[in-house]
């Protein structure tokens, strides 16, 4: 794409969904650009799966096509032209949709043809996908006899075999061992470069490693959206942990300009907090060299996504509690 602004591959506006009288999704709007990996993060039962089902046409939103509610895949309306819109989607549901009695190759061939590929093109795509997902060794095996990890990989393979523009993955790394998780994450990253990926997960590490952007979902609403880097900064603390092999008295550290508080963690370790706009690190380093404190290590404090996630979801709960 030569355009400076990347093309929007998926745009969903004002989705809402009820099951019976229970409203599970409230007014969710999402946008996805080419070359982007979006992580949909949320606790169990937050409505991630329901949202993804609506994005792939497995479930109709309430008043689909009416009012303000709309889903567009590559600019094609999912409610008005479902067939041509769905040709651009690859979807891995929570449970991989596998015909357990078929062999891996037969199944993937079926999946490719189902998405409208010609037989010759499908055969080519099959070879490529099998290789990408590391399924060469099991191509002729019956899916039902494979281990959970392999089945999950076959599930991912069926979602990408037709090289769709929008890839929707519902908890893609469930049931995989750590080395497989690394491979699959690398694969998703790669897919995100050519197309666009939206994945749901409750693993924060996944978001940290993989996603350009994060949307946090809670009780059917999107409560936070931003890049995963900015999410990390959200509500983080400024400071560092410093270890000095020849530590000075506590007061001397507190006197360094810019430092708010110092807490002694052990004989040689200190947690130093400062204001975000100040950087007392330079002064500390200079002093340490001058006084012979023998600096060992200086680690900036970083809030993990976990902290941030809990912070954001709790804040939301508090707001709700206050308004009731």
> Which residues are near other proteins by CB under 8 A?
19, 53, 56-60, 82-87, 89, 91, 93-102, 106, 110-111, 113-116, 142, 158
* DSSP H or E stretch at residue 271: strand 269-274
Residue 96 neighbours by CB distance under 10 Å: 21
Closest approach of Cβ 108 to other proteins, in Å? 12
Closest approach of Cβ 130 to other proteins, in Å? 18
Closest approach of Cβ 39 to other proteins, in Å? 20
Burial of 204 (C-beta count, 10 Å sphere; 0-12/13-18/19+): buried
CA gap 11, 59 in Å, rounded: 16
Nearest residue (CB) to other proteins, 41 versus 108:
108
Closest approach of Cβ 88 to other proteins, in Å? 9
Nearest residue (CB) to other proteins, 123 versus 303:
123
Nearest residue (CB) to other proteins, 66 versus 294:
66
CA gap 107, 111 in Å, rounded: 6
Q: Do 170 and 93 form a contact (C-beta atoms < 8 A)? A: yes
Nearest residue (CB) to other proteins, 65 versus 292:
65
Strand 269-274 with 239-244, pairing: antiparallel
* Residue of 215, 217, 173 whose CA lies nearest to 42: 217
Q: Do 56 and 169 form a contact (C-beta atoms < 8 A)? A: no
Nearest residue (CB) to other proteins, 89 versus 187:
89
Q: Is 26 helix (H, G, I), strand (E, B) or coil?
A: strand
Closest approach of Cβ 58 to other proteins, in Å? 4
């Amino acid at each position: 794409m030569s355009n400076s602004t990347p093309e929007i591959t998926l745009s969903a506006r004002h989705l809402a969904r009820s099951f019976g009288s229970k409203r599970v999704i409230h007014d969710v709007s999402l946008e996805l650009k080419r070359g982007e990996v979006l992580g949909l993060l949320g606790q169990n039962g937050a409505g991630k799966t329901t949202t993804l089902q609506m994005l792939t046409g497995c479930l109709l939103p309430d008043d689909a096509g009416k009012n303000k509610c709309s889903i567009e895949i590559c600019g094609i309306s999912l409610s008005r032209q479902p067939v041509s819109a769905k040709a651009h989607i690859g979807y891995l549901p929570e449970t991989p949709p596998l015909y357990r009695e078929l062999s891996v190759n037969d199944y993937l061939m079926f999946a490719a043809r189902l998405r409208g590929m010609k037989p010759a093109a499908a055969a080519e795509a099959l070879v490529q996908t099998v290789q990408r997902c590391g399924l060469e060794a099991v191509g002729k095996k019956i899916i039902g006899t494979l281990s959970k990890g392999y089945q999950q990989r076959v599930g991912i393979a069926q979602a990408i075999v037709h090289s769709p523009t929008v890839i929707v993955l519902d908890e893609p790394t469930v049931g995989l061992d750590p080395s497989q998780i690394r491979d699959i994450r690398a694969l998703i990253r790669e897919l995100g470069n050519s197309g666009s990926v939206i994945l749901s997960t409750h693993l924060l590490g996944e978001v940290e490693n993989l996603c350009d952007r994060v949307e946090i979902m809670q009780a059917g609403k999107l409560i936070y959206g931003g890049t995963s880097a900015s999410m990390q900064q959200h509500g983080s603390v400024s400071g560092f942990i410093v270890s000095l092999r020849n530590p000075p008295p506590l007061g001397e550290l507190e006197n360094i300009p810019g430092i708010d508080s110092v807490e002694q963690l052990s004989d040689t370790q200190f947690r130093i907090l400062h204001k975000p706009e100040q950087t007392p690190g330079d002064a500390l380093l200079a002093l340490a060299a001058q006084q012979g404190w023998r600096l060992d290590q200086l680690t900036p404090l970083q809030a993990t996504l976990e902290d941030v996630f809990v912070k954001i979801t709790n804040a939301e709960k508090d707001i709700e509690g206050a308004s009731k």
